[in-house]
Every structure is written in structure tokens, then in C-alpha cells.
Amino acid sequence: MELTVSEEYLTKFCKVNSLSVGIDDSLWIGSGKVHKGFFTLLFASSKALQKVRLKGNKMKVIEGFNIEVKETALSPFNDLLIVSYTSRLKQVMRGSGKISDSKYCVEPLVPLCVHFTKDNKVLIGAVEDLFIDLYNMHVPDLSILSGRRAIFIMDIDGNHLDVVESDNVNKPLFIYPRHITTCSETIFVVDLYCKAVGGRVVILDSDKSVKAIYTGNPEVRYRFPFTPYHVASTASESVIVSDFLGHALHLLNKCGQLVTYFDTLMIGIQYPTTLAITTTEQYHILYMGNGDFFDDSKTKAQIYAFQLSLESQK
């Protein structure tokens, strides 16, 4: 995988934990940073959810909202879906400038992530017994949780089509399904264990059976457990996984096999977080945020734009 940093942008956040690219080339970025129920970021240029536009190496904030953000996704109509701490997802309709309730609901579960497929299906990862901020370093062993953990599949109107949560012997497929992407008809789910154990990527076939489980690069001796943070699909039937504590990116094929591995420390980037990809005629443009686990961090996160050669992924 050949990565060339074309631009980098300084944010007001200590961590970028959500990132979505609009059809108008704008970006939605979120920090999800909450202290005792209130945001520490009070000004318009520092709200927990921002719509920004990039020009050269400058980032201009167009609008911002104070809302708890786990993840965002843009619909085919460029409406923004927001995963927060309610069973019903929130939204910012294109051009509305305000947050409202969406038609997508997973009650009584709590959503963790959302993804739109190319055929306009909506995938939502959710859990039943959870109000835990996984990124504040106070995380229990999530495998002891007894409630449901599922991937809901809906149509564009919010009608429930299917739910994926257990195998053929009724064993739960997921522990904490934190992020989702799709590659052809294959579903990739970032599934977390806990702070001490790390996580894995669960790959589901078109029939929703487990195709593979990826637990990290076997050739790397990790100082910390493999900690997948986010996953994004390319146009060449592969996916990229950000490895937060490993300071790395893992390129997997659609079967969940490692194609190549990139150490982000080699280019001076620590703690890669969320990913988003858009495509030009010659390149993927990979946007990647980074951050820090610690709430009192004075280091501001950045967003990096990479030119990702399509030829290098074949």
C-alpha cells in the first residue's frame, strides 16, 4: 500500500472519532468528547460535530453542533445520520442547519455505528446493555455483557429487513460492534473486546455467516493488543482498518486476508482513528483522523489526506 500525505489539517479536537465525506466535498467531523454530560468545547469553531470545507492546507468550519457523537454517515441524498446516545438516530437534513430525529431506530438497543451500502441499505450496529464510553480508558471486559449485540439491516425508509446477531448454534457473533463497512456483499465489522484485550474484525459472507475473523498482523509483535478503531472500503474490493494502539493501517482483501500493512509512525502519525475514502479518476483520497486517549491531552488532532494508489492494491 503506497501512501502519500498530500495535506494535513489541524482540528480543535483532541481526537477525531467520526469522519464523513459529502458529495459536495465537505467533511463532517466529530469528537464525541463529553465531560460530566457537558461539552468542554464551547465555541462555534470547536463544537463536537462540525461541517468543514478544506482548501489548500486550511480548514474552514461551516457549521457546528453540540451533540454527543459516536459516528456519522451520509445518506445518498447527502443527509447526515448521527449515532448518539439514543435508540433513534439523529440527522441533519441537507440544507436544514438543524438536528432532528431520523426514521432509523433500534429500540430497545443503543446504536454504536451506521453504514450505507451501495444498494441503499442501512446497517446499524447496536447493543442492549451499554452506556460506556470506550475511548475514555475506563472500560470493563465487554465480553461479560449479557444483552443483545446485533447488526440491524434496514431499507432507506427505515423498515427493518434483517438482523444479524448469532450463529447457527445461537452463539452471539459480536461483543461490541463498533464500526461497519461493506465490500461487495461482504460485511466487515470492527468488534471490540475491552481496553486490555483489544479487538478483531469479523467478516460476514453474503449469507451473514462468518467468513473470517482478522485479529492483526501475525508478523508484528504488538506492544499493545490489536485495537481496530475504524474500517473503510475502497473501490478496488479491499478495506482499510485503522489500528489505534498499533499506530498502523491494515489493508485486507474482501476475504479478510491481510494484503499489506503500513506503520503510520514511519510518517510521524500516532493513534490513527476514523477513516473515509473518496475516489478520483486516478487515486483514492483517504482521509484519516488521529487523536489521543487522554481527556486532558493538549495535543490537537489532525486530519490527513492521502493519495492512495489504486494500482498498488491490485
> Cα–chain-centroid distance for residue 7?
21
207, burial (CB in 10 Å: exposed 0-12, middle 13-18, buried 19+): exposed
User: Cα separations (Å) of 180 from 105, 138, 196, 222, 239?
Assistant: 17, 23, 22, 24, 11
Per-residue pLDDT at 311: 54
Q: Edge-to-edge strands of the sheet including 272-279?
A: 3-10, 302-309, 283-290, 272-279
Q: Are 57 and 47 in contact (CB under 8 A)?
A: no
Exposure class string for 216-233: b at 16+ Cβ within 10 A, else e: bbeeeeeeebbbbbbbbb
Q: Are 109 and 127 in contact (CB under 8 A)?
A: yes
Alpha carbon distance 52, 60 (integer Å): 5
Per-residue pLDDT at 68: 85
Per-residue pLDDT at 296: 52
Task: Evaluate the CA torsion angle 53, 20, 16, 238 in order and state its sign.
Answer: negative
Per-residue pLDDT at 16: 92
The conformation of residue 46, written as its DSSP 8-state character, comes to G
Alpha carbon distance 310, 314 (integer Å): 7
Per-residue pLDDT at 247: 93
Per-residue pLDDT at 136: 41
Cell representation of residue 15 = 481526537
Per-residue pLDDT at 55: 87
For the chain, which ranges sit under pLDDT 50? 34-46, 131-139, 312-314
Per-residue pLDDT at 167: 86
pLDDT in tens, 17-54: 899 999 888 999 998 754 333 333 333 334 689 999 99
